[in-house]
């Protein structure tokens, strides 16, 4: 095979050539090899696109190669591009290595002009069809290649439909279509400032360039950004013989899935239209029919299609998303690809395919994107509240989940409000690729038109976002910022609730409830546990969180933040009293009030966690976080402490820090005020003693935060050990406990060997380690980090996924040094990263013992940990 080859005939490619031929091209080639009926054609490679993007012209070999393949196609089809009597028509279709639905451009019916329109009419004996093909071509070519906005064509079409008094374009006859063609040409001339090119070869060249250019269109770039698609050369271009679904009622076009993409159920699922072409189904021009209609009307073709879906699924061993067209009773396949699916469907399909012996357990585990498991754990509407709520419309259950929010009617508003953290619902007649960013920021999406395979539905499912599509009673008045449904008017800013699993739309807010997980989910998790090596623990501060996490499979608590308990009810008063006391006696008095409260918290958590390890971190945040800010609270506190308001204010002033995150916090507090650590240790061990007496085998682990030097750790450990001894003697009971430290100050990572000699465990606090390692303030970096990621300074936000080259190296050095110094040392991670799949994989590779993450991310970590093993 020559290296600089830019064109492949369909019969020359196969499914392994996605990088070069794009997904669409590779799979068209594969289907051709499988002897599935695919209209013949050829593919221009992604490398040609890359060359074009760089040099703004074709590589010199391309012209000749296209000519050669075109000649071959003309011979195979026994027709010629641009031939007045016997014209060949082709589609020019984009397709990158990664599917980007609707993101790039496609032109159908290329080769139509004033001469070939007559030739095609003669050849097919169908004048109306030929003019319909011509006007469709003018519209697509005018838009995609010549840059004339859709609405100019829509206006012309609307006008003709109105004068003729018809509702659908299918009702226009040949003469009316001729008039439409003339008007379209006029519109192109007027808005593009250029004559529509009659020469078919010129059309082809221009269309190929338009597809090349669409790779760098704004919406394609945004799509790649949002989906983190990087490192692709460009799009391939497929040039394919046209087949016609618009040749009458014995023709049609559709989109189908080999299984239900919303639920994963193993049933043939799809939508189609008779007498329609191309994008009609997806664009929501007419409301599509279910495949059952095809079965009724054309049982033979339905059976053939059904056999193809089974063949393709067996061949690809995965759920397929297919496009087909029937031309006068003859079925053609136009595309197959891996079907996008909801997480619920992904889990069900993966588990069922193992049972069907199509794939093995390891493959199944890799089939479910760990990050997406989140969707399954999302909330649903409270069934009782739902019964009482006002149902205003029902559409298609396009993407499951529940969404509660205020209504907006365009993407800009969605972004504006969404970025501020408001819950909003984007309501549109139908969405288009320009709406992607708005959808991203919306909690849910509601559309009035379009089916289960409409743009809104496909994109929402991909995003794991609740979506109700095609709620046809909803009349959206985007200009007036309201929608009307029967007698109800909903304005911008009003609350609505969507149920994406049923397609229902409700007025007002409805409370949501936690999900219950399916048997398939449990099966998949069981497999994950079988393969993973990493332990999966949770970050939980309350008995309730602990319970949820254990339900999700948490094997311990990796981080219990004691300070989170400090804000509740009366406690904050005692905490403030402690902080503002000027001497040890005052602090002890306040701490004595806190002791029983902390003890009871720990009793609650130990009782739920039972034998599982519980890591409790001593006080960490800078003290000013607890101080009263409101005048009223200041007064109250002054009274409580029997001092003047001024004294309180002066103290507050004294505690002010310029750099609180690098200030008096973490172990620095316990070193300066040992009585705080004493009280916390006492609460922990007294609680442990009490729970142990009930016959529960507790295992408290005390964790010292923000250690940078071994001496800091030793000073704190001394206190903990002393208090533990005291409590054990007082209660006459032995408690099995350990003391360890967080690794979050870079100095600690570098001097890990020293610290490891005296510590029982390490836990990476990657939030602070990232903050200090990169010198990036977590609270301020938001302003420029997105730009940094965009410019490729960092591959991803280092606070979301571990920066493996930087922070990751600190971790690596730490683990190596620490393990050498202390073979028995347990090492884990308890930063936000502990539940992020790429970070979990990294922790696996580093050889950590466990990861700890928030309760709802526990299943994600379990799956990611298994995937890390399988991928290796």
| Smallest distance from ligand ADP to CB 290, Å | 18
240 binds, among ligand ADP, Mg ion, none (CB under 5 to 8 A by kind): ligand ADP
DSSP designation for 660: G
Beta strand pairing status for 535-539 and 512-513? unpaired
User: CB under 6 A: which stretch of 7-15, 160-168, 235-243, 294-302 binds ligand ADP?
Assistant: 235-243
Helix (H/G/I), strand (E/B), else coil: 738: strand
**C-beta closer to Mg ion: residue 187 or 333:** 333
* 335 scored as a contact of Mg ion (CB under 5 A): yes
Q: Does 108 bind ligand ADP (CB under 6 A)?
A: yes
Please say which residue, 253 or 260, places its beta carbon nearer to ligand ADP.
253
Catalytic site residue from 830, 833, 843, 844: 830
Of 15, 47, 80, 93, which one interacts with ligand ADP (CB under 6 A)? 93
Q: Which stretch binds ligand ADP (CB under 6 A): 237-245, 294-302, 830-838, 847-855?
A: 237-245
Nearer to ligand ADP, 255 or 591 (CB): 255
Q: Of these, 27, 313, 323, 435, which contacts ligand ADP (CB under 6 A)?
A: 323
How far apart are the C-alpha atoms of 156 and 140, rounded to whole Å? 14
Residue located via tokens 């072409």: 277
Q: Burial level of 812, CB count in 10 A (0-12/13-18/19+)?
A: middle
Segment contacting ligand ADP (CB under 6 A): 29-37, 238-246, 373-381, 577-585?
238-246
Number of residues that bind ligand ADP (CB under 6 A): 17
Nearest to 476 by CA among 456, 459, 460: 456
Tally Cβ neighbours within 10 Å of residue 320: 22
Distances (CA, A) of 100 to 223, 375, 433, 597: 8, 21, 10, 55
- For residue 3, what are its two tokens? 């290296």
Q: Select 253 or 413, whichever has its Cβ closest to ligand ADP.
A: 253
**Residue 431 Cβ vs ligand ADP, minimum distance, rounded to whole Å:** 14
- Mutual angle of helices 584-609 and 543-551, in 10-degree steps: 30
The yes or no reply on residue 335 touching ligand ADP (CB under 6 A) is yes
**Among ligand ADP, Mg ion, none, what binds residue 39 when CB lies within 5 to 8 Å by partner kind?**
ligand ADP
| Residue 43 binds which of ligand ADP, Mg ion, none (CB < 5-8 A, kind-dependent) | none
Cα 671 to chain centroid distance, Å, stands at 44
- b vs e for 111-147, b when ≥16 Cβ sit within 10 Å of the residue's Cβ? bbbeebbbbbbeebebbbbbbbbbbbbbbbbbbbbbe
Minimum CB distance to ligand ADP smaller for 106 or for 410: 106
Question: Residue 453 or 598: which CB sits closer to Mg ion?
Answer: 453
Stretch that binds ligand ADP, among 239-247, 434-442, 539-547, 648-656 (CB under 6 A): 239-247
The first and second tokens of residue 553, run together, are 């499979």
Closest separation between CB of residue 27 and Mg ion, Å? 10
Window 616-635: contact mask with ligand ADP (x via CB under 6 A): --------------------
**Rule CB under 5 A: which of 647-676 touch Mg ion?**
none
Dist. CA 171–CA 703, nearest whole Å: 75
Query: Which partner from the list Mg ion, ligand ADP, none does 344 bind, CB cut-off 5 to 8 Å by kind?
Result: none
The alpha carbon of 785 is separated from its chain's Cα centroid by a whole number of angstroms, namely 19
Strand ranges for 581-646 from DSSP E: 613-617
Give the x-and-dash track for 143-162 against ligand ADP (CB under 6 A).
--------------------
Catalytic annotation present for 611 = no
Piece of 162-170, 240-248, 357-365, 830-838 that binds ligand ADP (CB under 6 A): 240-248
In three-state secondary structure terms, 336 is: strand
Residue 108 binds: one of Mg ion, ligand ADP, none (C-beta under 5 to 8 A by kind): ligand ADP
Name the residue nearer to ligand ADP (CB basis): 73 or 393. 73
Cα separation, 40 vs 38, in Å, equals 6
Query: Which of Mg ion, ligand ADP, none does residue 380 bind to, with CB < 5 to 8 Å depending on kind?
Result: none
DSSP string, 538-555: EE-SSHHHHHHHHHTT--
- Residue window 36-75: x/- pattern of binding to ligand ADP, with contact defined by CB under 6 A: ---x------------------------------------
Residue 498 CA from chain centroid, whole number: 19
Whether residue 455 lies in the annotated active site: yes
Choose the contact partner of 371 out of ligand ADP, Mg ion, none; CB within 5 to 8 A by kind.
none
Number of residues engaging Mg ion in binding (CB under 5 A): 3
The distance of closest approach from Cβ of residue 327 to ligand ADP in the complex, given in angstroms and rounded to an integer, is 8
Q: Using CA atoms, how far apart are residues 214 and 196, in angstroms rounded to an integer? A: 20
Residue 449 contacts which entry, ligand ADP, Mg ion, none (Cβ below 5-8 A, type-dependent): none
Q: Which tokens hold the place of 43?
A: 């593919």
Q: According to CB under 6 A, which one of 144, 180, 247, 334 is a site residue for ligand ADP?
A: 334
Q: Which of 41, 40, 248 is nearest to 132 (CA)?
A: 248
Beta-strand pair 466-469/396-399: antiparallel
Distance CA 591, CA 472 (A): 63
Q: Which does 325 bind (CB under 5 to 8 A by kind): ligand ADP, Mg ion, none?
A: ligand ADP
SS3 at position 742: strand
Quick check: 235 binds Mg ion (CB under 5 A)? no
Nearer to ligand ADP, 24 or 862 (CB): 24
DSSP 732: T
Residues 6+ apart with CB under 8 A from 178: 131
In degrees, to the nearest 5, what angle opens at C-alpha 264 toward C-alphas 279 and 366? 100
Cβ atoms of residues 781 and 799 within 8 Å:
yes
Task: For residue 67, give both structure tokens.
Answer: 């000519």
Give whole-number Cα distances, 347 to 210, 224, 478, in Å.
39, 25, 37
Contacts of 62 (CB under 8 A, 6+ apart): 6, 7, 44, 48
Residue 538: half-sphere exposure toward Cβ, Cα within 13 Å: 27
CB of 102 to Mg ion, least distance (A): 5
Query: What sign does the dihedral 67-70-74-80 (CA atoms) show?
Result: negative
Q: Which residue from 69, 170, 240, 839 is in contact with ligand ADP, where contact means CB under 6 A?
A: 240
Q: And the tokens for 483?
A: 């929608």
The listed partner (ligand ADP, Mg ion, none) that binds 253, CB under 5 to 8 Å by sort, is ligand ADP
Print the binding letters for residues 96-115 with Mg ion: x by CB under 5 A, - otherwise. Answer: ------x---x---------
Nearer to Mg ion, 460 or 759 (CB): 460
Catalytic position from the list 378, 417, 455, 833: 455
Apex 511 CA angle, 506 and 515, nearest 5: 105
Residues in contact with ligand ADP, shown as a per-residue x/- string from 253 to 272 under the rule CB under 6 A: x-------------------
Kindly give the residue spans of alpha helices, DSSP state H, lying in 616-709: 631-641, 645-655, 667-672, 674-693
Least Å distance, CB 814 to ligand ADP, is 47
852 binds, among Mg ion, ligand ADP, none (CB under 5 to 8 A by kind): none
Query: What residues between 269 and 288 interact with ligand ADP by CB under 6 A?
Result: 278-279
Q: Which is nearer to ligand ADP, 323 or 678 (CB)?
A: 323
DSSP 347-399: HHHHHHHHHTTSS-HHHHHHHS-GGGHHHHTS-EE-HHHHHHS-EEEE-EEEE
Residues in the site for Mg ion, rule: CB under 5 A? Answer: 102, 106, 335
Residues in the site for ligand ADP, rule: CB under 6 A? Answer: 39, 91, 93, 102, 106, 108, 240-243, 253, 278-279, 323, 325, 334-335
The catalytic site residues sit at 455, 830
């Amino acid at each position: 095979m020559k290296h600089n080859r830019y064109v492949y005939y369909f019969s020359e490619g196969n499914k392994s050539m996605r990088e070069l031929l794009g997904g669409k091209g590779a799979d068209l080639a594969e289907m051709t090899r499988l002897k599935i009926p695919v209209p013949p054609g050829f593919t221009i490679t992604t490398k040609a696109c890359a060359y074009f993007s760089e040099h703004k012209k074709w590589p010199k070999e391309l012209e000749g190669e296209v000519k050669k393949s075109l000649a071959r196609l003309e011979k195979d089809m026994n027709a010629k591009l641009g031939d007045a009597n016997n014209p060949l028509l082709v589609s020019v279709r984009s397709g990158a290595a990664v599917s980007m639905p609707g993101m790039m451009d496609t032109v159908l019916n290329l080769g139509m002009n004033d001469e070939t329109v007559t030739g095609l009419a003669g050849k097919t004996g169908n004048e109306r069809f030929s003019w319909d093909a011509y006007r469709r071509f003018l519209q697509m070519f005018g838009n995609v290649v010549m840059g004339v906005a859709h609405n100019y064509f829509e206006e012309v079409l609307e006008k003709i439909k109105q004068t003729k008094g018809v509702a659908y374009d299918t009702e226009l006859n040949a003469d009316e279509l001729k008039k439409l063609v003339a008007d379209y040409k006029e519109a192109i001339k007027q808005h593009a400032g250029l004559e529509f090119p009659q020469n078919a070869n010129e059309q082809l060249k221009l269309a190929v360039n338009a597809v090349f250019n669409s790779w760098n269109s704004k919406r394609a770039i945004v799509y790649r950004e949002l989906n983190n698609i990087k490192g692709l050369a460009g799009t391939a271009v497929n040039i394919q013989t046209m087949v016609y679904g618009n040749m009458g009622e014995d023709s049609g076009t559709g989109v189908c899935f080999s299984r239900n993409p919303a639920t994963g159920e193993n049933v043939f699922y799809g939508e189609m239209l008779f007498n329609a072409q191309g994008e009609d189904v997806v664009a929501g021009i007419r409301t599509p029919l279910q495949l059952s209609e095809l079965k009724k009307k054309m049982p033979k073709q339905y059976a053939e299609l059904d056999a193809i879906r089974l063949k393709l699924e067996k061949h690809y061993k995965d759920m397929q998303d297919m496009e087909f067209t029937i031309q006068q009773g003859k079925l053609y396949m136009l595309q197959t690809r891996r079907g996008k699916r909801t997480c619920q469907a992904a889990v069900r399909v993966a588990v069922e395919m193992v049972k069907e012996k199509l794939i093995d357990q390891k493959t199944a585990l890799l089939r479910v994107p760990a990050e997406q498991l989140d969707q399954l754990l999302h909330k649903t509407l409270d069934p009782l509240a739902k019964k009482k709520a006002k149902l205003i419309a029902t559409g298609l259950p396009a993407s499951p989940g529940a969404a509660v929010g205020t209504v907006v009617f365009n993407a800009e508003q969605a972004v504006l409000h969404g970025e501020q953290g408001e819950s909003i619902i984007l309501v549109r007649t139908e969405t288009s690729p320009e709406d992607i960013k708005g959808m991203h920021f919306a909690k849910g999406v509601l559309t009035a038109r379009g089916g289960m395979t409409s743009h809104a539905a496909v994109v929402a499912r991909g995003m794991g976002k609740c979506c109700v599509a095609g709620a046809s009673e909803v009349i959206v008045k985007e200009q007036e910022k309201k929608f009307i449904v029967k007698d109800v008017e909903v304005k911008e800013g009003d609350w609505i609730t969507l149920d994406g699993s049923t397609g229902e739309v409700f007025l007002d807010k409805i409370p949501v409830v936690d999900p219950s997980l399916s048997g398939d989910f449990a099966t998949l998790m069981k497999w994950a546990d079988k393969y993973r090596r990493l332990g999966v623990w949770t970050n939980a501060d309350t008995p309730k969180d602990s319970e949820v996490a254990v339900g999700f499979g948490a094997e311990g608590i990796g981080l219990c933040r004691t300070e989170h308990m400090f804000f509740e009810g009366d406690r904050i008063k005692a905490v403030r009293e402690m902080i503002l006391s000027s001497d040890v006696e005052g602090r002890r008095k306040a701490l004595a009030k806190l002791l029983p409260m902390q003890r009871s918290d720990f009793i609650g958590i130990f009782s739920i966690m039972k034998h599982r390890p519980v890591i409790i971190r001593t006080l960490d945040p800078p003290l000013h976080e607890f101080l009263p800010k409101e005048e009223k609270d200041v007064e109250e506190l002054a009274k409580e402490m029997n001092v003047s308001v001024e004294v309180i204010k002066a103290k507050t002033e004294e505690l002010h820090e310029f750099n609180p995150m690098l200030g008096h916090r973490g172990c620095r507090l316990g070193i300066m005020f040992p009585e705080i650590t004493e009280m916390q240790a006492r609460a922990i061990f007294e609680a442990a003693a009490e729970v142990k007496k009930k016959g529960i085998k507790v295992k408290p682990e005390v964790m010292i935060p923000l250690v940078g030097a071994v001496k800091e750790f030793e000073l704190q450990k001394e206190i903990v050990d002393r208090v533990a001894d005291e409590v054990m003697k007082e209660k006459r009971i032995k408690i099995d406990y350990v003391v360890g430290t967080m690794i979050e100050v870079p100095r600690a990572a570098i001097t890990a060997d020293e610290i490891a000699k005296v510590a029982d465990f390490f836990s990476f606090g990657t939030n602070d380690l990232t903050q200090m390692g990169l010198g990036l303030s977590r609270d301020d970096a938001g302003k420029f980090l997105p730009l940094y990621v965009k410019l490729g300074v960092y591959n991803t936000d280092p606070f979301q996924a571990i920066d493996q080259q930087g922070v990751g190296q600190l971790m690596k050095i730490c683990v190596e040094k620490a393990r050498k110094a202390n073979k028995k040392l347990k090492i884990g991670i308890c930063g936000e990263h502990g539940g992020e799949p790429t970070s979990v994989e990294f922790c696996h590779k580093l050889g950590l013992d466990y990861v700890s993450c928030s309760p709802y991310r526990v299943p994600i970590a379990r799956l990611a940990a298994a995937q890390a093993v399988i991928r290796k």
